[in-house]
Structure 1
Amino acid sequence: MSDNSYLKDLVLLRNDPTTVLKVREAAARGEVDAFYALGLIYAEGRGVPMDRAQAHYWLSLAVKEGDQDAELLRNIVGSQMSDDEYEAAKRLREKPVLQVVGAPVGPPVNSSTQ
Structure 2
Amino acid sequence: MIPWSPLARGLLAVRAADGDSASTVRAQTDKTANALYDRNKAQDDAVIAVVQKISERHGRPIAQFAFAWLTIRSGISAPIVGISKLHQFEDALGALEIRVSDEDVAEIESP
- Which bracket does the TM-score occupy, shorter chain normalised? 0.3 to 0.5
TM-score normalised to the size of structure 1?
Answer: 0.33
Larger of the two Rg values belongs to structure: 2
TM value normalised by structure 2: 0.33
Q: Which has the higher helix share?
A: 1
Higher relative contact order, chain-length normalized (CA < 8 Å, sep 6+): 2
